[in-house]
Structure 1
Amino acid sequence: MKKLFIVLAISLFAFMDATAQVEYKIVTSVESIVPNGLGRSRIISANETKDYKQFTSTQTEEDNTRNKSKRSEIRVKGFDETKLLNFYNLGGIRFQNIAANDALIESKINTMIEEGWELAFVTSGVESEGGKGDGQGIFITRYIFKRNKQ
């Protein structure tokens, strides 16, 4: 009897977890790697949602109709922007700035976890200086959080 009760309890919890709906939230950090500290670095987090279907069109050989949405309709105007420091200053790479950025990003992650979010994935990429005279570059990281919908 005990074994049957345990199996039923485990099954019930597994079923409840399988039917839970999950929501995701993306937080992006953009850190400038522009020489001489001329770039801008930020943590960005959208406060509104968009339905990608409104801005998607299907391309076929027969019918080449496109979604005529304007870029201004896609833009999100409600978002949080947290200032970060640039990786470089006039003296070169600034390790103190990297440590300061880490502290701010850590604070954001800890706040999200306190709000019930779980850090599910992290992905990053770099677009660095492309050669003589380019002077452009960013280090971008996306933190993907998830939680069960309430």
Structure 2
Amino acid sequence: MKNILTIIFVIALGSTSWSQTFEYKTITVVESIIPNGLGRSRMIATEEARDYKEFTSNRTEEDDERNKSDRGDIRIRNFEETKLLNFFNVGGIRFQNIAANDAVVTSKINELANLGWELTFVNSGVESFSGETDSNGIFITRYIFKRLKTSI
């Protein structure tokens, strides 16, 4: 009897780990690094979903038809936009703005953690300001969260 219970327990334990599926969420933070505070900095989140398959084509040597998805169908018009401060102001780098942005982003991460989301990956990149002839400059960070998908 003890062996049968052990086998049932092992099977039950194994089957629950096999059936786990996750859902993912991306939060994007765009911070301006344009001098004089001229840029816009935001944290963007959405609850709307898009199925990438609707906007994907498989191109081969025999069938080289490009994807003709309508950009308007991909675009999301309902999203959460949180204002952040720019890294620069008239005097240069504004460290108080960086600290304020950290506090706001941390608040969002803590809220998501309280909702069961786990921060899984962080990816960042920069397109930096390179002098008077370059008016560009952003620092972008993507936070990828996951949580167990609930069965309905």
Q: TM-score, normalised by structure 1?
A: 0.90
Equivalent pairs counted in the alignment come to 150
Structure 1 residue ranges, 4+ long, deviating more than 6 angstroms after superposition: 1-4
Specify the code of the residue in structure 1 equivalent to 2:62. Answer: E
Residue of structure 2 equivalent to 1:96: 96
Residue of structure 1 equivalent to 2:134: 134
Once the two structures are TM-superposed, the CA of residue 55 in structure 1 deviates from its matched residue by 0.7
Gapped regions of structure 1 (runs ≥ 5): none
SS at match of 2:53: helix
Specify the code of the residue in structure 1 equivalent to 2:12. Answer: L
Pair 1:37–1:16, CA change in 2 (3 A)? same
SS at match of 2:100: helix
Give, in whole Å, the separation in 2 of the partners of 1:75 and 1:52: 12
Identity percentage of aligned residues: 59
Once the two structures are TM-superposed, the CA of residue 33 in structure 1 deviates from its matched residue by 0.5
Once the two structures are TM-superposed, the CA of residue 59 in structure 1 deviates from its matched residue by 1.9
Residue of structure 2 equivalent to 1:20: 20
SS at match of 2:99: helix
Give, in whole Å, the separation in 2 of the partners of 1:104 and 1:48: 22
Specify the code of the residue in structure 1 equivalent to 2:73. Answer: E
SS at match of 2:59: coil
Q: Please, what is the CA RMSD of the aligned residues?
A: 1.9
Gapped regions of structure 2 (runs ≥ 5): none
